[in-house]
């Protein structure tokens, strides 16, 4: 009996040692950092031709500790109507995020905030804020539910002025509606540019 | 070399056993009442098939002498209690028998291994009685353990509940799951252990620092959760049960089946739970559903002086996290905190959406025990596989893809030899090794939050105890551990980084247990414990929920307190091991009507690793707070009290209190998430029979939780945003800890419970948060966004056969 136990236990021990066959550390594969927007370009194209005005901001390391750099002041001409197109780009993975937003326009919405008096149309200071959803803004695009998206907008400048121009992109899955505002959902983009109208 | 040492260790005890053919074998033990944990005098103990038998004395103790056989079946009986047959052989531990009164549906049980699972007898130990355990077992692991004095919880909503011992949690406590160190992603505050209490029978906490037997790293203590070993010679028996809770409209079903033959026994168990959105007193908590499936199989093969146990378990869970708690930038966070009703609150649903976690844990264990004359050898091998997927609210197809997807494979080997008495010393020596392989599963479409690694851990220990005087016991123990890990990860530019780490150190413990007089015991235990920073402490990096975190080696800081990403090594930034020195002292008082246990402790921790605010990062998404990992020296001190008063045969009272005080003594600062003071009182009314029902119990509990006054300063999100607007770095001058909101107010919770048995059925009803109080708990990370759950009525019925 004793012998049996001894053999059995030894066998168990040896087999468990051999079971501890251990693999080495696997090298993690490079993931596509698809979440990140690194480059934001605002292109203001004047109605009836002329040179476009560009606003640019860059955060090269995405969610890394390196900060966001807003490259320039947006300088618009007085009393001019512009079409604004927003382009979002992930330079790490070299892919367009604005295309993704367009494909999922029923979950996304751009909101704009600006210093009052810079524009004659829209008037006011934009539609950022819990109660400001219905405030004046000229969206040129809309989703399948007839709600605006904001990749394309129209702006008519005043005679002169300076201040800030802020763009907020909200991700609002199952939230976006005629009542949803800029405080709903989570923020994909929130950048302010300095702006002049002359 | 290692294998040779192991072999010597293994061979040694087998040389010293002797044959014994005389009729001079002795077996002794103690018999208790299962319901009350009181000794049960005048029970009959008989050897089956013989005329040999004795009656237990007034302390429940019995001694059977003049036995010839090495193995026999013992029959325990007592009028009014359930008869029990137990197969025993003389080499096994002295049995402790718990006799169940006829009027309760619990069965009588024998516990043989109690002396060995309790580890050090000079350490303070807390546990739940079989009855308390049964009452709580359909809840989560964390909710069960918080009923033990000295244990609190750290929560992320209602579904992620982590145990906290004396203010410490995560990788600073060990969880021993059926004898095996539970391996999981223990680093995250939102990672709860994958354990379903309904598959287990008892739980214990060891509050000492140096729980030498179970492993290094137990700076706070050890939680032991065990299922009873399958009993031999049992007819088919088992139970089925179901319960329903109104809050969350949750239902839970469980089943258990057991059978014991002469040499073989097994227990199979399974449990399933589905819970919908929970409800706070004033609103629905959207996306707080949960679905859980777990099963286990325990099998035991018995030969003379030898037992082989196989244990298999499976656990899978999907849980929702309150939708309002996951935010984009600081403005979103401010909006979520300010809303009276959490944003995105929707009507009740069983649906679980993002953010959510999908978790599984599998374990296979083989455990052999050889019982010699006055000695015992145990060998155990276990394999564990843990998968964790965490889904965030993301854009497009990425919403279907987890942002964290980790697979942790681990293997553990334990050898323990409990030696015969040598120079009045009793004790055990052992060896332990753990291998872990942590892999990120490809396809998350985001850079890995923690790196891949493999690690090896080897430990050897010795624990000895001796009687200095008949009433004074001295214990000493020591342990040596060696850690090795090999790490491969990717930095923020997707470039690979590599590192290898080696650590080794000693831990030691010493304690005294003194029986001052009958029913009065004093204990004191001093010990140290250590752990190296774990891989995530070093390397975590990136956005996790509403904060950006940087591990100990993942940032550099310039003279203006600005941060940049980096991957450092020990040469560039030295990170010392965490080292705890803990003194725990306990006083236990027990007489017929009154029992009390007081535990007091001081725990000094060198190089304590924690995260502190570093500043604000501006990203395309807006501003985020940045937290960096650092080390400091910390002091934890506190006391736990639990007491029971038997007013009369029917009425009894239970009192419990916990207090923890903690401080960062290097920076003269305070920590977040330290549990507030708690005082609980419960009154119970018990009658054996009424209107055909038996084992009737009614209880009313009141639990008071104080406000945490010992909390760091408050900087609101609005203040941070204003400073950001004005281009002021709030943390340049003063980077002491802060919290977004002040600690919640104190609150009182009432609960009610009732239980009764009818034939083979047992019924239970419980009302939690009886007054539907709206409150927030300081140690729940959801306190920024929503109230805790409101009133809940749960009903349960179990059938035993």
When CB atoms are compared, the residue of A62, A67, A186 closest to B618 is A67
Give CA–CA dist B767/B745, Å, rounded: 23
Give the CA angle between residues B439, B442, B445 to the nearest 5°: 125
Nearest to B13 by CA among B271, B427, B372, B453: B372
pLDDT band for B655, please (50, 70, 90 cuts).
Answer: very high
Encode pLDDT of B490-526 as tens digits.
988 788 999 999 999 999 999 999 989 888 999 999 9
List helix spans (H) across B56-196: 114-117, 130-136, 141-145
Enter the tokens of residue B614. Answer: 């570093």
3-state helix, strand, coil in chain A (%, to 5): 15, 35, 50
Per the confidence metrics, is the pTM higher than 0.90? Answer: no
Split into its structural domains, chain A has a count of: 1
Task: Break chain B into its structural domains and give their ranges.
Answer: 18-112, 223-228+252-292+309-800
Give CA–CA dist B92/B232, Å, rounded: 14
Residue with more model confidence, B188 or B441: B441
Overall average pLDDT of the A100-123 stretch: 91
Min distance A197 CA to chain B CA atoms (Å):
23
Q: Is there a domain that residue A57 lies in?
A: yes
Give the CA angle between residues B776, B782, B783 to the nearest 5°: 30
Structural domain including A142 reads 39-197
Q: What is the pLDDT of residue B386?
A: 97
A-chain CB neighbours of B626 within 8 Å are 65
Residue with tokens 């992320």: B156
B-chain CB neighbours of A68 within 8 Å are 618-620
Residues 285-344 of B with CB under 8 A from A: 303-306, 308, 326-329, 331-332, 335, 343-344
Backbone angles phi, psi at A98, to 5 degrees: -65, -30
Q: What is the pLDDT of residue B19?
A: 41
Q: What is the pLDDT of residue B75?
A: 85
Q: Is some CB atom of chain A closer than 8 A to the CB atom of B642?
A: no
Q: Is there a domain that residue A15 lies in?
A: no
Answer yes or no: do A28 and B393 touch at CB < 8 A: no
Answer yes or no: do A22 and B377 touch at CB < 8 A: no
Min distance A43 CA to chain B CA atoms (Å):
17
Encode pLDDT of B182-203 as tens digits.
999 998 888 999 999 999 988 9
Chosen CATH of B223-228+252-292+309-800 out of 2.40.170.20, 2.60.120.10, 3.40.50.720, 2.60.40.10:
2.40.170.20
Q: What is the pLDDT of residue B274?
A: 96
Min distance B578 CA to chain A CA atoms (Å):
25
Answer yes or no: do B306 and A186 touch at CB < 8 A: no
Q: What is the pLDDT of residue A164?
A: 92
Q: What is the pLDDT of residue A112?
A: 95
Q: Is some CB atom of chain B closer than 8 A to the CB atom of A38?
A: yes
Q: What is the ipTM of this complex?
A: 0.76
A-chain CB neighbours of B442 within 8 Å are 28-29, 31
B-chain CB neighbours of A186 within 8 Å are 326-328, 332, 393
Q: Is there a domain that residue A172 lies in?
A: yes
> B112 pLDDT exceeds 70?
no
Min distance B493 CA to chain A CA atoms (Å):
7
> B22 pLDDT exceeds 70?
no
Q: What is the pLDDT of residue B200?
A: 92
Q: Is there a domain that residue A71 lies in?
A: yes
Q: How far is CA B472 from CA B39, B116, B514, B523, in A?
A: 23, 19, 4, 10
Nearest to A29 by CA among B489, B406, B404: B489
Overall average pLDDT of the A86-111 stretch: 89
When CB atoms are compared, the residue of B331, B411, B488 closest to A187 is B331
Encode pLDDT of B35-72 as tens digits.
777 788 888 888 887 778 888 888 888 888 877 777 77
Answer yes or no: do A31 and B331 touch at CB < 8 A: no
Enter the tokens of residue B515. Answer: 């029986």
Q: Is some CB atom of chain B closer than 8 A to the CB atom of A64?
A: yes
Overall average pLDDT of the B789-801 stretch: 94
When the pLDDT of each residue in chain B is averaged and rounded to a whole number, the result is: 87
Q: Is some CB atom of chain B closer than 8 A to the CB atom of A145?
A: no
Encode pLDDT of B295-309 as tens digits.
999 999 988 888 899
Q: What is the pLDDT of residue B689?
A: 85
Encode pLDDT of B704-725 as tens digits.
999 999 999 999 988 888 887 7
CATH 3.90.550.10, applies to B18-112: no
> B12 pLDDT exceeds 60?
no
pLDDT band for B578, please (50, 70, 90 cuts).
Answer: very high
pLDDT band for B483, please (50, 70, 90 cuts).
Answer: very high
Q: Is there a domain that residue A29 lies in?
A: no
Q: What is the pLDDT of residue B372?
A: 80
Burial (CB < 10 A; 0-12, 13-18, 19+), residue B688, is middle
pLDDT band for B2, please (50, 70, 90 cuts).
Answer: very low
A79: CATH: 2.60.40
Q: How far is CA B210 from CA B124, B415, B534, B657, in A?
A: 12, 19, 19, 24
Give CA–CA dist B665/B633, Å, rounded: 6
Encode pLDDT of B771-793 as tens digits.
999 999 999 988 989 999 999 99
Answer yes or no: do A64 and B14 touch at CB < 8 A: no
When CB atoms are compared, the residue of A34, A101, A183 closest to B335 is A183
Give CA–CA dist B298/B230, Å, rounded: 7
Encode pLDDT of B664-678 as tens digits.
999 999 999 899 999
Q: Is some CB atom of chain A closer than 8 A to the CB atom of B20?
A: no
């Amino acid at each position: 009996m004793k012998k049996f136990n001894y053999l059995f236990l030894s066998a168990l021990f040896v087999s468990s040692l051999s079971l501890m066959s251990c693999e080495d550390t696997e090298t993690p594969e490079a993931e596509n950092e698809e979440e990140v927007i690194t480059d934001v370009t605002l292109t203001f194209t004047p109605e009836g031709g002329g040179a476009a005005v560009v606003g640019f901001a860059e955060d090269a390391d995405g969610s890394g500790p390196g900060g966001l750099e807003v490259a320039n002041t947006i300088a618009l001409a007085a009393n001019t109507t512009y079409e604004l197109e927003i382009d979002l780009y992930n330079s790490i993975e070299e892919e367009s995020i604005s295309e993704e937003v367009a494909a999922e326009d029923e979950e996304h919405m751009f909101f704009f905030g600006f210093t009052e008096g810079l524009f004659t149309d829209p008037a006011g200071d934009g539609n950022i804020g819990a109660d400001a959803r219905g405030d004046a803004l000229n969206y040129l695009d809309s989703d399948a539910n007839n709600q605006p998206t904001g990749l394309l907008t129209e702006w008519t400048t005043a005679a002169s002025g300076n201040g800030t121009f802020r763009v907020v992109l909200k991700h609002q899955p199952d939230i976006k509606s005629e009542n949803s505002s800029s405080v709903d959902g989570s923020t994909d983009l929130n950048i302010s540019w300095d702006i002049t109208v002359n | 070399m290692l294998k040779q040492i192991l072999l010597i260790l293994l061979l040694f005890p087998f040389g010293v056993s002797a044959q014994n053919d005389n009729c001079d074998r002795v077996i002794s033990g103690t018999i208790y009442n299962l319901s009350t944990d009181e000794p049960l005098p005048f029970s009959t103990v008989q050897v089956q098939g013989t005329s040999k038998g004795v009656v237990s004395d007034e302390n429940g103790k019995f001694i059977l002498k003049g036995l010839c056989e090495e193995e026999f079946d013992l029959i325990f009986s007592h009028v009014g209690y359930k008869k029990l047959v137990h197969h025993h052989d003389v080499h096994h531990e002295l049995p402790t028998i718990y006799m169940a009164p006829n009027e309760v549906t619990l069965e009588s049980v024998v516990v043989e291994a109690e002396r060995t699972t309790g580890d050090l007898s000079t350490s303070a130990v807390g546990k739940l009685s079989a009855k308390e355990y049964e009452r709580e077992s359909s809840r989560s692991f964390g909710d069960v353990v918080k009923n033990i004095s000295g244990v609190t919880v750290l929560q992320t909503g209602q579904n992620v509940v982590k145990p906290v011992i004396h203010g410490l949690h995560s990788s600073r406590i060990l969880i021993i799951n059926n004898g095996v160190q539970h391996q999981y992603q223990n680093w995250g505050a939102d990672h709860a252990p994958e354990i379903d209490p309904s598959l287990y029978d008892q739980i214990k906490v060891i509050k000492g620092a140096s729980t030498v037997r179970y492993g290094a790293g137990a700076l706070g203590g050890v939680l032991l959760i065990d299922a009873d070993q399958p009993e031999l010679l049992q007819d088919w028996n088992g139970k089925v049960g179901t319960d329903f809770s109104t809050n969350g409209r949750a239902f839970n079903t469980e089943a258990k089946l057991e059978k014991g033959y002469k040499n073989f026994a097994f227990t199979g168990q399974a449990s399933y739970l589905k819970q919908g959105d929970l409800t706070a007193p004033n609103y629905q908590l959207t996306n707080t559903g949960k679905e859980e499936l777990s099963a286990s199989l325990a099998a035991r093969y018995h030969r003379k002086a030898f037992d082989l146990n196989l244990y298999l378990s499976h656990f899978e869970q999907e849980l929702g996290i309150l939708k309002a708690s996951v935010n984009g930038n600081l403005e979103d966070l401010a909006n979520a905190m300010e809303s009276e009703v959490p944003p995105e609150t929707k009507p009740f649903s069983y649906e679980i959406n993002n953010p959510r976690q999908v978790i599984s844990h599998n374990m296979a264990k083989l455990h052999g025990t050889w019982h010699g004359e006055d000695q015992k050898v145990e060998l155990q091998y276990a394999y564990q596989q843990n998968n964790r997927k965490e889904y965030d609210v993301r854009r497009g197809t990425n919403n279907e893809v987890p942002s964290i997807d980790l697979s942790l494979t681990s293997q553990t080997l334990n050898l323990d030899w409990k030696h015969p008495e040598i120079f009045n010393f009793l004790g055990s020596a052992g060896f332990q090794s753990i291998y872990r392989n942590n892999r990120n599963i490809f396809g998350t479409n985001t850079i890995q939050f923690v790196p891949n690694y493999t690690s090896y851990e080897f430990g050897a220990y010795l624990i000895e105890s001796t009687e200095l005087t008949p009433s004074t016991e001295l214990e000493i123990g020591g342990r040596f551990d060696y850690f090795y890990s090999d790490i491969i990860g990717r930095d923020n530019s997707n470039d690979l980084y590599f590192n290898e780490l080696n650590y080794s150190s000693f831990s030691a413990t010493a304690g005294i247990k003194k029986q001052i007089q009958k029913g009065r015991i004093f204990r004191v235990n001093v010990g140290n414990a250590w752990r190296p920073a774990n891989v995530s402490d070093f390397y975590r990096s990136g956005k996790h929920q509403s904060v950006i975190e940087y591990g100990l080696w993942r940032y550099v800081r310039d003279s203006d307190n600005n941060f940049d990403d980096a991957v450092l090594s020990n040469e560039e930034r030295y990170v010392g091991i965490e080292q705890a020195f803990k003194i725990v002292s306990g006083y236990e008082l027990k007489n017929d009507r009154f029992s009390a246990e007081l535990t007091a402790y001081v725990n000094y921790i060198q190089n304590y690793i924690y995260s502190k605010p570093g500043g604000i990062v501006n990203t395309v998404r807006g501003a985020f707070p940045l937290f960096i990992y650092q080390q400091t020296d910390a002091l934890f001190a506190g006391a736990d009290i639990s007491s029971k008063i038997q007013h009369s045969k029917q009425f009894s009272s239970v009192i419990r209190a916990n207090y923890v005080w903690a401080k960062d003594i290097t920076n003269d600062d305070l920590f977040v998430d330290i549990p507030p003071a708690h005082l609980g009182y419960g009154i119970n009314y018990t009658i054996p029979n009424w209107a055909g029902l038996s084992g009737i119990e009614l209880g009313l509990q009141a639990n008071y939780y104080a406000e945490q006054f010992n909390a760091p300063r408050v900087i609101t999100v609005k203040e941070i945003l204003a400073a950001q607007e004005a281009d002021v770095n709030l943390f340049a001058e003063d980077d002491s800890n802060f919290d977004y909101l002040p600690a919640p107010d104190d609150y009182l919770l009432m609960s009610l419970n009732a239980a009764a048995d009818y034939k083979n059925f047992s019924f239970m009803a419980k009302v939690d948060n009886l007054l539907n109080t709206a409150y927030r708990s300081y140690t729940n990370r959801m306190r920024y966004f929503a109230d805790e759950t409101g009133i809940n009525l749960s009903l349960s019925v179990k059938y035993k056969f």
